[in-house]
Amino acid sequence: MIFLDCPSTTPLDETVLDAMLSYLRHSGTDYQKLAQSERSERGPAVRAARESVAELVNCLPNEIVWTSGATEANNLAILGFAASRKKPGRIVSQVTEHSAVLEPLRQLGRLGWDVELLSVDQVGGISLDALRAAITNSTDLVTTMWGNNEIGTIHPIAEIAELCSSRGIAFHCDAAQAVGKVPIDLSELPITMLTLSAHKFYGPIGAGALFVRDLSKAKCISPLMFGGGQEHGLRPGTLNLSAIVGLGAASRLASEKMAAWGNHTYALRSRFESYLLCELADVSINGYADNRLPHISNIAFNGTDNEGLLTMLPEIIASTGSACHFADFNPSHVLSALNKTPQVTECSLRFGFTKDNTEDEIDRAAKMIVEAVNEFRANA
């Protein structure tokens, strides 16, 4: 099998697994000692992991709140922000956000919040002029993803952050696809909250974090769950030590290797796309040609059907869209927002490249895709 679906999840790195194992293998008195010394916010392993995550995105360790992943972090950011307000206000976002942002926004809309979703252009970009026009005196929060999980489009985060900061508006950024893939420096960007997830950059599933600026000074969010004082009172419950250790290990690895990973996945993607565009007619890239996350490729194979095409590629693991829409065969809301024809939204596949993919794998995958597309079109 050739794994080309890393926007959904990435393989757990062996060094990350090794770091986690010592916290999974314990019994008797060792467990009691571990529970007393490590399973708290002040435990050495938890502290080290928090410092590693903070180093990766260049923030203060005490601005990191542990979560189970990006979905929980997005919900805590958006719903927690709303819970801290005295009355419903106004939130601005955009239409191609992940469902972990869109669904909390829909919930707030049902609760009386004024939620505006900006449209995007044909490559998935948002207009800064449209965002400026959408921000009013009653706007409380802007939430925009760093890079899209289906087409890889990168939004102008620095400009959005500066705009929000100049207007005194909180800005939340879902960076689940970007952290560990592209440099992020929160000391330079006035972002209020930022979401990340370990399993998107070779860490374990079930571990994530929410960055909240100046958390120890003034809380801009309120808890959604109650029952303990952990994580500044924002996320109660016994900490998942092994997962947190894994997130810390993945963060250290990304701090060291991110530039090399980015160059590698970009080169593989370029090789892959160049071959397909050369060998096949009526094929196009969805999203920007260059202003994309380096690991994502979304391609329209006109004259095919994405589900049918995938069944003809049993040796390749790819997807038709977001992993969170598993078994949902409706057209991708991201591709639909690009104003593409229905035929394009129904013939597009998403591929994602990891640090572990090789040129040989990419060449074999590309050749299998060419054969499958030609066969599909011949029999259509």
Q: What is residue 33's predicted lDDT score, i.e. its pLDDT?
A: 58
Is the pLDDT assigned to residue 31 strictly greater than 60? no
Where are the strands (E) in 77-150, listed by range? 90-94, 114-118, 139-143
Q: What is residue 74's predicted lDDT score, i.e. its pLDDT?
A: 98
Lowest mean pLDDT segment, chosen from 79-88, 320-329, 345-354: 320-329
Any idea of the CA torsion for 353, 147, 222, 87, to the nearest 10 degrees? -150
Cα–Cα separations (whole angstroms), residue 119 to 11, 79, 124, 292, 376: 34, 23, 9, 18, 34
Structure tokens at 365: 């995958």
Mean pLDDT confidence for 222-240: 89
- From the list 177, 184, 183, the residue with the least C-alpha distance to 200 is 177
Which positions are catalytic? 324
Ramachandran class of 69: left when φ > 0, alpha when ψ lies in -120 to 50, beta otherwise: left
82-92 tens-digit pLDDT = 999 999 999 99
Residue in the block written with tokens 């410092």:
51
Structure tokens at 326: 């598993």
Q: What is residue 326's predicted lDDT score, i.e. its pLDDT?
A: 47
14-253 and 257-379 share one fold: no
Q: How many percent of the chain have pLDDT more than 70?
A: 93
Whole-prediction pTM value?
0.93
Give the domain 14-253 fold.
Aspartate Aminotransferase; domain 2 (3.40.640)
Q: Chain-centre distance of CA 265, in angstroms?
A: 17
Cβ count near 292 (within 10 Å)? 22
Give the domain 257-379 fold.
Aspartate Aminotransferase, domain 1 (3.90.1150)
Sequence spans of domains, the chain: 14-253, 257-379
- From the list 33, 85, 16, 4, the residue with the least C-alpha distance to 251 is 16
Residue in the block written with tokens 């950024």:
173
Which amino acid type is present at position 246? G
137-157 tens-digit pLDDT = 999 999 999 999 999 999 999
Between CA 93 and CA 173 the distance in angstroms is 10
Mean pLDDT confidence for 268-290: 96
Cβ count near 90 (within 10 Å)? 18
Contact 122, 339 (CB under 8 A): yes
Where are the strands (E) in 137-287, listed by range? 139-143, 170-174, 193-197, 208-212, 283-285
Where are the strands (E) in 125-207, listed by range? 139-143, 170-174, 193-197
98-147 tens-digit pLDDT = 999 999 999 999 999 999 999 999 999 999 999 999 999 999 999 999 99
Contact 262, 118 (CB under 8 A): no
SS3 58: coil
Cβ count near 348 (within 10 Å)? 27
Is the pLDDT assigned to residue 291 strictly greater than 70? yes
Q: What is residue 340's predicted lDDT score, i.e. its pLDDT?
A: 77
- From the list 324, 323, 318, 297, the residue with the least C-alpha distance to 306 is 318
Q: Provide φ and ψ at 38, rounded to 5°.
A: -110, -30
Give, as one character, the DSSP assignment of residue 119: -
